[in-house]
Structure 1
Amino acid sequence: MTKVDLRLNAIVDASLADVADLPLLAAQAVRGGATLLQYRDKTASTRRMVEQAMAIIVAIAGSGVPLLVNDRVDVALAAGADGVHLGSSDLDPETARRLLGPSAIIGLSVKTAEEAHRAALAPADYACIGGVFATTSKDNPGPPLGIDGYRLLRKQLHADRPTLPVGAIAGITEARIAPLIAAGADGVAVIAALFRSGDVIGTARAFRSAVDAALSERSA
């Protein structure tokens, strides 16, 4: 499996188009210290998604930061992205791995104990547990997990696969980073708190610094 740096996973969502062009936002996040990028669009045509993904790849060229496409293996293949992030209703990770190859990054969303168990057994490179807190960036049908719920799911996932990197998503703020890292998160996924902050580069730096400090404290 490919080693993935989950410390700061910046999700460039199509809903951010009112802030700035997505490739510009992606480049700013990378400049601030994002270690992983996701491009997410639930409504655009396949052609538009491929164009956007390719533009983001150009914008972050030379940074070494991988770009994943949310949900869409076909778009990732067509655009030459580094991999995909898949939800429970998307293409299964086994088929995604066969199509994308051994070096692609495959991430999985985890919301339940059953999904945690499946993720641990799947050919995935990381999992992201959430939603941890309430968020306006995406509709989450169930109630937020909270810190305790996150800790429990992470423990269940690691019971089956102790070395799988695990991130946290939904409602992440700088103040919530340290408790999440203490609860076992290897990093955080952010959308609104980063890209609607008014200072993407500065906010990314602050988030990355908070993650690094919390990880250092956890390993001490």
Structure 2
Amino acid sequence: MSRNPIDLSLYLVLDPDLCGGMAGMVETAKIAAENGVTVVQLRAPNWKKRQWLECAQQLKAVLTPLNIPLIINDHADIALAVDADGVHVGQSDLPVAVVRDLLGPNKIVGLSTNNLGNVHELLTPEIAACIDYIGVGPVYPTSTKKDASPVIAAAEMAAMFASTGSLPAVAIGGISSGKVAPLIAAGADGVAVISAICGQPDIARATRNLLTEINLKKGS
């Protein structure tokens, strides 16, 4: 299965509470995309499917002209309904092989991992052939995901990044301005953020600051 390239440098995961609802999520995504975010994920665990659909349609409308991919968390049916660019799943969601079969070969599929043993277990050739990137986290304490796994120790995190082979990996969990450099140094291809952008008083500036940190470390 051919992999689909994705720039994970600055990956925004939207939060309906921090953004102030659907309209705030769409506006946040638009401003962030205009200022350097490279991918946007719709995540709203407490929403009904109709809300997911409506928000995904609006996000698709603002992100497509900017060439920023829209990833749907967990719900492959929503991704199919709006022709989103891909789906991200956790270990208790649909198996990645099923998601790949549903989406076909040309969509992006991401998978969450939270410890080194987990990476070795999940990244068999069969599973690795179905996914385009992995998420590694939480790398710092986080309050935006109530069921988050324990924070990954620095040494284990670096070992996880080193174990992904040719698969790109994005760090997630509690990442804010000033915390990016150690993650890129450890081997992350990018960082996924929530509260570092969602709910910030100046979304454009927050986005640009994060991107500057990423580019400085990648260029060092």
> Deviation digits for residues 101-147 of structure 1, max 9, x if unmatched?
11100011010234312145321000010001001111245321143
Task: String of CA shifts for 1:24-80, please: whole Å, max 9, x gaps.
Answer: 111011011000100001111112101110111112231111000001111111121
| 2:81 equivalent in structure 1 | 78
Unaligned runs of 5+ in 1: none
Corresponding position of 1:8: 10
CA contact 1:54–1:79 (8 Å) conserved in 2: yes
How many residue pairs get matched? 213
Task: Compute the TM-score of the two structures, normalised by the length of structure 2.
Answer: 0.92
Between stretches 53-62 and 182-191, larger displacement belongs to 53-62
Kindly report structure 1 stretches of 4+ aligned residues shifted beyond 3 Å: none
Corresponding residue for residue 145 of structure 1:
152
CA distance in 2, matches of 1:44, 1:184: 34
Trace 1:9-88 onto structure 2 (pairs within 5 A): 9-18=11-20, 21-88=24-91
Which whole-Å CA distance do the structure 2 matches of 1:133 and 1:120 have between them?
27
Q: Contact (CA 8 Å) 2:43, 2:72: kept in 1 or not?
A: yes
Q: Measured at CA, do residues 209 and 154 of structure 1 come closer, stay the same or move farther in structure 2, by a change above 3 Å?
A: same
Change (3 A) 1:13 1:45: same
Alignment match, 1:170: 173
In structure 2, distance between residues paired with 1:197 and 1:73? 29
Give the superposition deviation at 1:183.
0.3
Query: Which is further off, 112-121 or 26-35?
Result: 112-121
SS at match of 1:192: coil
Instruction: Name the CA distance, whole Å, in 1 between partners of 2:218 and 2:115.
Output: 25
- Greater helix share, structure number: 1
Match status 1:126 vs 2:126: no
Shift of residue 154 of structure 1? 1.8
**Pick aligned residue for 1:105 from 89, 105, 108:** 108
Matched letter for residue 3 of structure 1: P
Structure 2 spans left out of the alignment, 5+ residues: none
Structural RMSD (CA): 1.5
Aligned residues of 1:133 and 1:146 also touching (Cα < 8 A): no
Sequence identity (%): 34
Which amino acid is 1:46 matched to? K
Aligned mates of 2:135, 2:148 — CA distance in 1: 17
Distance (Å, rounded) in 2 between the aligned partners of 1:174 and 1:214: 13
Residue 142 (structure 2) pairs with residue 135 (structure 1): yes
Residues in 2 aligned to 1:32 and 1:82: alpha-carbon distance in whole angstroms: 20
State the one-letter code of the partner of 2:211.
R
Q: 1 CA distance for matches of 2:166 and 2:148? A: 29
